[in-house]
A and B are shown apart, each in its own frame.
Chain A
Amino acid sequence: GIQVEQSPPDLILQEGANSTLRCNFSDSVNNLQWFHQNPWGQLINLFYIPSGTKQNGRLSATTVATERYSLLYISSSQTTDSGVYFCAVYNQAGTALIFGKGTTLSVSS
């Protein structure tokens, strides 16, 4: 099955810093999503981005499907950005999301 790897596993930043999170996947995919799991455990949709680039405020994402990776950019990080960021791709049958292990981000003031 498809393997999803995220890096780095942990990231510690000072407020105001920028960061890039990476998601590699082992096979071609049709759909990819980025999520933020907040300290209360809720999975918040960030981007649905099978290919190309999208931006939403301080966050942006780029997926290069032909090279099997996606990047999540966080600019001017804030303490509320802390939490776990997950990348997930659909399996070949399109019936399930396969998640990476996540990147744990800690932003301190």
Chain B
Amino acid sequence: EAGVTQFPSHSVIEKGQTVTLRCDPISGHDNLYWYRRVMGKEIKFLLHFVKESKQDESGMPNNRFLAERTGGTYSTLKVQPAELEDSGVYFCASSQGGGLEQYFGPGTRLTVT
């Protein structure tokens, strides 16, 4: 069974540009989560989807971040326009049900210069 996959693995963009990150959850997992770790700090929750619906987006830092999960399969996280403080590693995770074990993807390392 394939695990959670993320694309790209690395992205380097200039301040003000747009970047879109993609996450493919484990097949059959309705719950999908985005997290990020910036500047060596702790891993922080961004948002949670159940199928295509946003269940909790309390961790989204501001309106420059937009997450979608059309069709309830893969998800994208767009940052527009990117700022220097957005640099970090963005993780995606999925679980079979709410409150159950989460499995993480390898992460996307975003560098904004």
Contacts and interface: CB of A to CB of B under 8 A. Distances in A.
A97 interface: yes
Nearest to A99: B43
Contact of A100 (B42, B89, B103): B42
Contacts of A91: 45
Contact of B107 (A30, A41, A88, A98): A41
Given A43-B91, A101-B42, A95 B56 contact: yes
Given A35-B104, A42-B107, A43-B104, A96 B45 contact: yes
B29 to A, nearest CB: 14
Given A41-B109, A42-B106, A99 B44 contact: yes
Interface string B59-96: 10000000000000000000000000000010101000
A52 to B, nearest CB: 15
B111 interface: no
Please classify how large the interface on chain A is, using the bins under 10, 10 to 19, 20 to 34, 35 or more. 20 to 34
Contacts of A43: 91, 104, 107
A25 B48 CA distance: 22
Contact of A30 (B41, B89, B91, B99): B99
A90 B55 CA distance: 14
Q: Which 8 A-B pairs have the closest CB atoms?
A: A96-B45, A95-B56, A94-B99, A48-B101, A43-B104, A99-B43, A95-B48, A101-B42
Interface of B: 33, 35, 41-45, 48, 55-56, 58-59, 89, 91, 93, 98-104, 106-107, 109
